[in-house]
Amino acid sequence: MSLSKPRYFALVPAAGSGSRFGAGRLKQYLPLAGKPLIAHTLRALCAVEEIERVFVVLSADDTEWATHDWSFLGSRVVPLICGDATRATSVINGLRAMAGEVAEDDWVLVHDAARPCITPQQIKRLVTELKEDEVGGLLAIPLADTLKRADPQQRVSETVPRETLWRAQTPQMFRYGVLRAALASVGEVTDEAGAIEAAGLKPKLVEGDLTNLKVTWPMDLQMAEYVLFSRLEWEGPEQ
């Protein structure tokens, strides 16, 4: 372990095509509450003072990032042109590109570009609960719905006990060196915690918030806008 105090960095993979959304445009740039969707994501991360840099992984053919004014985010956002077709590859490419600025023991918070309703408070809760943890962990929500397993005919084959099941969210926070090694040693995984688990470690689950939704389908965009505007009604417009 390094004797210096670990620092915090965020990594946002934003090279996906958003094919499931079907908008004919990169999902991260769709308009949401007056700004591109990803702007809300980045603003929340930049509002957390512990995070020194927010690295955004873009694909080489992304022509839209440069058309937007990101100056309202300050100077901590750093685009990395090294994205790939899959999330896992984009994250590992991003980690490699960060190598010159990040130490092995520094913390990296990987967050979905398409989770624009994350709040600084949720991120700070994750940081607070994990800063002394040996492994790291992720925001997640205990499942409340009754779960059914389907057979090939789409009929219920069994009811799945939900007592120990959680729905994974992001950010997912792990040490830079551990995360990079774990991702490099496994194939495709759907999240960083899966790579850490494959390495034989047990990430900690930190209870998140249902409003930290992921925009995957068109209806999700409407829900995200509702969440963001509801917060403005309670908190007042941003200055």
CA–CA distance, 104 with 179 (Å, rounded to integer):
9
Residue 221 to residues 35, 110, 123, 138, 217, Cα–Cα distance (Å): 13, 21, 21, 23, 7
With a cut of 80, say whether residue 1 has pLDDT above it.
no
3-state secondary structure (DSSP) of residue 150: strand
- 88-94 contacts at long range (C-beta below 8 A, 24 or more positions apart): 88/183, 88/188, 88/189, 88/190, 88/195, 90/13, 90/15, 90/16, 90/57, 91/11, 91/13, 91/57, 91/183, 91/192, 92/180, 92/183, 92/184, 93/57, 94/11, 94/13, 94/55, 94/57
Please give the average per-residue pLDDT across 131-140, as a whole number.
97
* pLDDT above 60 (res 217): yes
Q: Are 83 and 58 in contact (CB under 8 A)?
A: yes
Domains, the chain, ordered by start: 8-235 (3.90.550.10)
The pLDDT tens digits for 86-127 are 999 999 999 999 999 999 999 999 999 999 999 999 999 999
pLDDT digits (tens, 9 = 90+) for 36-94: 999 999 999 999 999 999 999 999 999 999 999 999 999 999 999 999 989 999 999 99
State both tokens at 48.
């957390």
Burial label for 75, CB within 10 Å (0-12, 13-18, 19+), is exposed
Q: What local confidence, expressed as pLDDT, does residue 191 receive?
A: 96
Examine residue 171 and say whether the peptide bond preceding it is cis (omega within 30 degrees of 0).
Answer: yes
pTM above threshold 0.85: yes
Is 13 in contact with 117 (CB distance < 8 Å)? no
pLDDT higher than threshold 50 for residue 239: no
Strand partners, 54: 10, 77
Q: What is the pLDDT of residue 193?
A: 98
Map tokens 């004014």 to a residue: 69
Q: Which two tokens stand for residue 140?
A: 């997640």
